[in-house]
Amino acid sequence: MALFNIFIFPGILFLVVAGLWFEFVDRRMYARMQHRQGPPWFQPLADFIKLIAKETIIPENANRRLFVSMPVVALTATISAFFYIPLWSTHALYSFQGDSIVVMYLLTLPTLTFFLAGWYSTSLYSTIGAVRSLTQFFAYEIPLFMAVLAPAMLANDWSLAGIATYFTAHPLLALLNVPALGVALVTLLGKLERVPFDIPEAETEVVAGAFTEYTGRHLALFRLAIDIEVIVAGSLLVAMFLPFGLALPAWLGFLVYLLKITFVVAVIAILRSIMARLRIEQMVNFCWKILAPVALAQLLLNLVVKGFLHS
Amino acid sequence: MLGEVLAHLCAKPNTIKYPFEPAVVEAGLRGKIKFVAEKCIGCKICVKDCPADAITITKIGDKRFECVFDLDKCIYCAQCVDSCPKKALSVTNEFELAQLDKHKLRFVFHAPDAPPTPPAPAAQPEPPVAKTA
Amino acid sequence: MSKITIPLGPQHPALKEPASFKITLNGEEIYSMDMRLGYNHRGIEKACEERTYIQGLYLIERICGICSHSHSTAYIQALEELAGLQVPKRGLYIRTLIAELERIHSHLLWLGVAAHEVGFDTLLMYAWRDRELVMDHLAEIGGNRVNYAVNTLGGVRRDLTPAEIAHILKDVDTLEERTKYYAQVATEESTLIARLSKIGYLSKTDAELLGAVGPTARACSVDRDIRRDDPYAAYGDVQFKVCVDDHCDVYGRVLVRVGELMESYSIIRQLLKNLPDGPIAVKAPRRIPAGEAISRYEAPRGEDCHYVKANGTDKPERVKIRAPTLANWRAVRKMIEGNYLADAPIIIAAIDPCFSCTDRAIELVRPAGAATLTWGALRQHGIDWYRKQGLDFADLNKKLATQLGRVK
Ligand code: SF4
Ligand code: SF4
C-alpha cells in the first residue's frame, strides 16, 4: 500500500499527471486572457515526449555529473516534499513535528539546482541567469518563509497535518491569514520564476537563463520538475491557508482540493498576464520594502491573537 | 488591465484554428496568377517586366502560346497582369501554394488545343543535382 | 564582480533580425557596448542598377518588411521628379492613405514588440490583434499584407471603392478606441511604467548631434517631421499635429508613438473625406531622362532618404538609400551606457530598429594574402566542407526524389 501511495496515487504518477494538466490549465487560461486559442490539452505531454526524444547536448566545459544530476535532484526534492502535505484530509502520507520546515527547505532545493545548473553550464547567459536566480531567491525566500510560518505559529504546531487539523477545528481563524496568503502567492511567482519575476530566465535578455544550455531529456526533466513544483507549492499554500473541506468524504474532498489548486494556478496565470517583468533591483526592493513588512505584520498579528486565545 | 483580461477569459478567441478551419482572405489579395492562352499574342512584355523571372512564354505553334509559372520564384506582385496588353493574365486569390515536391511548383498553362492533360504536376526533367544542392 | 562581455546577437531572442551588440557589463550595469551591422546585407542598391525601373520598384519595396511602402514611395518620388510626372490628386491621396495605414501597422507592431521586450506579453497579443484590422485593409487595398505594391510610376495601381472607404472609416473608429485604451495602460500600468521610464536617456543636444530622426528624436523634444517640414504626397492638404515629448527616455518614445497613432487616425479621416475624383495614375515612360534626384519621406521610424541617378535608359545608374535606422544607430550607444543589462533589449527596441533596411555595405575582413573566392568556388567550398562532415546534399536530394517518387 505504501508503495502504491508513493508511486501511483497520490504519489509520483498523480503528480506527473496533475503537473502536466495544470500546465495546460495555466497555458490555456493565459492564452484565453490574451484572446488566443491556446494549446490543446495534450500539449504539455506532447512537449514532454518531444523533448525526451530530442538529442541531448552537454556543453564541453560543463561539469558533466552536476549538469546531468541537477534536473533529477530538482524533481526528487519537489516530489519528496509532496508526501508531507495534507491534501484532501487532515492527514498527510507522512508526518512529524517540524515537517512544515522540512517541506519549505525541500522546496528551496529546486532554486538551488537552477543556480548550480546554470553556474556549471559555464555559458554566459546561464551564469547570469544563475546569479539572478540566487539574488531573487534571497529576496523572496524570507517573506515566503514568514508568510508560511504565520499559520503554523497561530496553530502552535509545526507539522502540516497538525496545522490542518487545527484550522479545520477553527475555520474562522484561517481568515486571519489572508495577508500572508497574498504574500505567499506573490512570492510563489518568484519561486516559480513567472512574470513579473521571471527575471532569471528573461527570454529577451538572457535567452533562457540557467536552462540555456539544457536540451533533450534533461530539459524535459527540469520542466517536469517546475510543473510539479507548481502543484506541490500550491498544495502547500492550500493546506496552510485554505484548510476548508478537509473533513468531507474523500471524493468530495478531492474535488475541493482540485478546485483549490485550480484557484492557485488561475491566480498565477492572471498575475502574469497583467504585468510586465520587473528589473532585478526593482524586484528585490519590492520584496524587502513591501512583502517583508506585510509578512512581519502578519506574524505579529498572529502572535497577539495567539496570546489572546491561550490566555 | 485586470478587467480586460478577465473579460477576454470568457470571450471567444480572436484567432482561428487554421488549418482545421479555413482562413478567410481578402478579395483583393494577390495570389496565383491565371493565364488564358486564347488571349495571349506572345508579345512577352510580361516576361520583360517580371521582377522575379518567374514567367516564361513559349511559342508552341501558330498563334499558340504556352505559359510556365515558377511559383517558387514568383513574388505575386501582379506586375505581369498590369503589363499584359491583352488581359491574358489575371490574379486569383489562391494562396495555399506550398508543396513538398518542388517540381509541382512549376505550373504550366497549356495552349488551347493541346492534348487535355490535367494542369497540375507537369512532367519535368529532373533538374541537375548540383542546382538543388 | 569583474567586467564581463556578453554578446547580444547576432542571434538572440530579443532581436528580430541579426545585428551584434557586445555588451560589457559591470555587474548588471552596462559599461560599454560595441555594435556591428552587416549580417543582413543583400546588395539591393547594386541589384537595382541591373533591373529596369519597374522591376526595381518591387525590389525596393522589399528593403523593409514593415515600411515597404515608405521605401517604394521615397524611391518613386525621386523617379517621378526626374521624369517630370504629375501624379493625379486621387493617386496622391491613396498613396498617403496607405502611408498612414502603414504607420499605424508599424507603430502597433512596435508597441507589441516593446511590450514583449519587457515581458508584457498580453499587451503584445492585444496590440497585434488590433494590428490585424489594418493588415486586412492593406491586403484588401494593396493586395498583400506586407508588400502592398500600391505604387507604380506615375501614381498608384489600385483604386478605392466606396464600400472600402466606409469599412476603413469604421475600423479606424475601433482602432482609435483601442489606442486610447493603450494610452491608458501606458500611463497607468505600474510595472510597465517602472520598466520604461528613466531608461535610455538621450538629451535633446545629443539627439541633434547624433542625428537621430523620427519618433526617437521627437521623444527628445526635437520638433522635426518631414511630413510637415517638407510636405510630399497629400500631406500639404491635411491638418495634423507633430507629436513631441520631453521625457527623453523610452517612456517618452512610447508616448510619441501612441500620439502619432491618434494623429494618423485623424489624417485618414481627412483623406477619405476629401478624396478627390479622377484618375489614379498617369502613363509613365519606360526610360527616364538623365538627372539626379533626392527624395525625403517620413517613414514610421523616421526620415528615409533615397537618391537616384538616371542616365536616360530604363535602368538607374545609381541608387542610394539611407534608412532611418542608420540615422538612429549612433544614438543607441549613447542611450544604453549606464543602464542595466535588463534594459538593453528595450532600449535597442525603442528606436524601432530595422537592420535589413540599414545594411547597405559590408566590410570584408580578410587575413592578408587570402585569395578572393569566386561565387562558384565559394559554393564548391561549401559543398566540400559539408561532405567532409559526412553530409552530402547531392545524396540527400536523390534520396528525397526517390522517396517522393515512391509516394506518388
Ligand atoms: S506576379 Fe510578379 S513575379 Fe509573379 S509572374 Fe507576375 S510579374 Fe512575375
Ligand atoms: S504580356 Fe500578355 S499577351 Fe504578351 S506574352 Fe504576356 S501574357 Fe501574352
H/E element, C25: strand C20-26
Residue by residue, what is the 3-state secondary structure of C169-228? HHHHHHHHHHHHHHHHHHHHCHHHHHHHCCCCCCCHHHHHHCCCCHHHHHCCCCCCCHHH
Search chain B and give the residue with CA nearest C50.
Answer: B51
**C-alpha–C-alpha distance, residues C109 and C134, integer Å:** 11
Q: Are residues C136 and C215 in the same domain?
A: yes
Query: Residue B128 above 50 pLDDT?
Result: no
Q: Which CATH number covers residue C74?
A: 1.10.645.10
Q: Look at residue C237 and tell me if it is in a domain.
A: yes
H/E element, A95: none
> What are residue C34's phi and psi, to 5 degrees?
-115, 125
Exposure string of C267-302, with b = 16+ CB inside 10 Å and e = fewer, is bbbbbbeebeeeebbeebeeebeeeebebbbbbbbb
Please report the pLDDT score of residue B131 as a whole number: 37
Count of CB atoms situated within 10 Å of the CB of A177: 25
For residue C380, give its domain range. 365-408
Q: Look at residue C129 and tell me if it is in a domain.
A: yes
Query: Residue B122 above 60 pLDDT?
Result: no
Count of CB atoms situated within 10 Å of the CB of C137: 24
Q: Are residues C112 and C253 in the same domain?
A: yes
Query: Residue B66 above 60 pLDDT?
Result: yes
Q: Look at residue A81 and tell me if it is in a domain.
A: yes
Task: Indicate which of C52, C124, C397, C406 best probes the interface with B, i.e. most B CBs within 10 Å of its own CB.
Answer: C397
Say what percent of chain B tops pLDDT 70: 83
Q: Are residues C250 and C372 in the same domain?
A: no
| ipTM of this complex prediction, to 2 decimal places | 0.83
Identity at A297, one-letter amino acid code:
A
Confidence of residue B123 (pLDDT cuts 50, 70, 90): very low
- Cβ of B88 less than 6 Å from ligand 2: yes
**C-alpha–C-alpha distance, residues A133 and A140, integer Å:** 11
Query: Residue C119 above 70 pLDDT?
Result: yes
Taking only the tens place, the pLDDT of each residue in C73-115 is 999 999 988 888 888 989 899 999 999 999 999 999 998 888 8
- Cα(B100) to ligand 1 centroid in Å equals 22
Q: Are residues C373 and C230 in the same domain?
A: no
Q: Share the mean pLDDT of chain B.
A: 77
Q: Are residues C185 and C235 in the same domain?
A: yes
Q: Look at residue A194 and tell me if it is in a domain.
A: yes
Q: Share the mean pLDDT of chain A.
A: 83
Please report the pLDDT score of residue C368 as a whole number: 59
Q: Look at residue C378 and tell me if it is in a domain.
A: yes
Q: Share the mean pLDDT of chain C.
A: 85
- Cβ of B33 less than 6 Å from ligand 1: yes
Which chain A residues contact residue C194 at CB under 8 A? Answer: 276, 278-279, 282
Q: Look at residue C30 and tell me if it is in a domain.
A: no
CA C206 to chain centre: 23
CB C271 within 8 A of CB C129: no
Q: Residue C217, CB half-sphere, CA atoms under 13 Å: how many?
A: 26
Query: Residue C56 above 80 pLDDT?
Result: yes
- Cβ of B59 less than 6 Å from ligand 2: no
Residue whose grid cell is 520538475:
A225
Q: Which CATH number covers residue B49?
A: 3.30.70.3270
DSSP string, A236-293: HHHHHH---STTS-HHHHHHHHHHHHHHHHHHHHHHHHS-PPPPHHHHHHHIIIIIHH
Q: Look at residue C89 and tell me if it is in a domain.
A: yes
> What are residue B58's phi and psi, to 5 degrees?
-120, 140
Please report the pLDDT score of residue B6 as a whole number: 76
Q: Look at residue B88 and tell me if it is in a domain.
A: yes
Q: Are residues C325 and C248 in the same domain?
A: yes
Bridge partners (DSSP) listed for residue C35: C21
Taking only the tens place, the pLDDT of each residue in C190-217 is 778 888 888 888 888 888 888 888 888 8
Report which of residues A310 and C110 the model is more confident about.
Answer: C110
Q: Look at residue A68 and tell me if it is in a domain.
A: yes
Nearest CA, atom 3, ligand 2: B40
Taking only the tens place, the pLDDT of each residue in A211-264 is 888 888 888 888 888 888 888 888 888 888 887 777 777 778 788 888 888 988
Tally the domains of chain A.
Answer: 1
For residue A72, give its domain range. 13-309
Count of CB atoms situated within 10 Å of the CB of C2: 6
Query: Residue B126 above 50 pLDDT?
Result: no
For residue B58, give its domain range. 27-109
Report which of residues A204 and B77 the model is more confident about.
Answer: B77
Confidence of residue C116 (pLDDT cuts 50, 70, 90): confident
Confidence of residue C340 (pLDDT cuts 50, 70, 90): confident
Please report the pLDDT score of residue A198 as a whole number: 82
Taking only the tens place, the pLDDT of each residue in C354-398 is 887 787 755 555 655 666 677 787 788 888 888 888 777 777 777
**C-alpha–C-alpha distance, residues B107 and B130, integer Å:** 22
Q: Are residues C85 and C127 in the same domain?
A: yes
Q: What is the mean pLDDT of residues A167-183?
A: 81
Q: Are residues C293 and C381 in the same domain?
A: no
Confidence of residue A288 (pLDDT cuts 50, 70, 90): confident
Residue whose grid cell is 533580425:
C17
**C-alpha–C-alpha distance, residues A63 and A120, integer Å:** 6
Q: Are residues C272 and C187 in the same domain?
A: yes
**Per the structure block, which three cell numbers stand in for A233?**
507549492
Of the three residues C358, C381, C396, the one that is the final residue of a domain is: C358
Q: Look at residue B9 and tell me if it is in a domain.
A: no
Q: Look at residue A96 and tell me if it is in a domain.
A: yes
Confidence of residue C406 (pLDDT cuts 50, 70, 90): low
- Cβ of B57 less than 6 Å from ligand 2: yes
Tally the domains of chain B.
Answer: 1
**Nearest CA-CA partner of B77 in C159, C57, C357, C64:** C57
Q: Are residues C374 and C232 in the same domain?
A: no
The CA distances from residue C58 to A122, B50, B77, C253, in Å, are 47, 10, 8, 31
Query: Residue A169 above 50 pLDDT?
Result: yes
Q: Look at residue B124 and tell me if it is in a domain.
A: no
B6 close to A (CB below 8 A): yes
Q: Look at residue A127 and tell me if it is in a domain.
A: yes
Of the three residues C340, C358, C376, the one that is the final residue of a domain is: C358
- Cα(B76) to ligand 1 centroid in Å equals 5
Planar angle of CA B95, B97, B101, nearest 5 degrees: 175
For a mutational test of ligand 2's pocket, the pick from B33, B60, B84, i.e. the residue with the most ligand atoms closer than 8 A to its C-beta, is: B84
Query: Residue C274 above 60 pLDDT?
Result: yes
**C-alpha–C-alpha distance, residues C304 and A109, integer Å:** 55
**Nearest CA-CA partner of A137 in A153, A114, A165:** A114
Q: Are residues C393 and C298 in the same domain?
A: no
- Cα(B52) to ligand 1 centroid in Å equals 7
Q: What is the mean pLDDT of residues A41-60?
A: 87
CB C74 within 8 A of CB C272: no
Q: Look at residue B74 and tell me if it is in a domain.
A: yes
Report which of residues C143 and A94 the model is more confident about.
Answer: C143
Q: Are residues C247 and C369 in the same domain?
A: no
Query: Residue B117 above 60 pLDDT?
Result: no
**Per the structure block, which three cell numbers stand in for A107?**
522546496
Q: Look at residue B2 and tell me if it is in a domain.
A: no
Please report the pLDDT score of residue B127 as a whole number: 44
User: N- to C-terminal Cα distance for chain C?
Assistant: 63
Q: Look at residue B49 and tell me if it is in a domain.
A: yes
Please report the pLDDT score of residue C1 as a whole number: 53
CB A294 within 8 A of CB A187: no
Q: Look at residue B40 and tell me if it is in a domain.
A: yes
Q: What is the mean pLDDT of residues C305-311?
A: 90
Please report the pLDDT score of residue B133 as a whole number: 33
Tally the domains of chain C.
Answer: 2
Query: Residue A27 above 80 pLDDT?
Result: yes
Contacts 24+ apart (CB under 8 A), A297-304: A297/A179, A298/A146, A298/A147, A298/A150, A298/A177, A298/A179, A298/A180, A298/A183, A299/A146, A299/A149, A299/A150, A299/A153, A301/A176, A302/A150, A302/A151, A302/A153, A302/A154, A302/A176, A302/A177, A303/A153
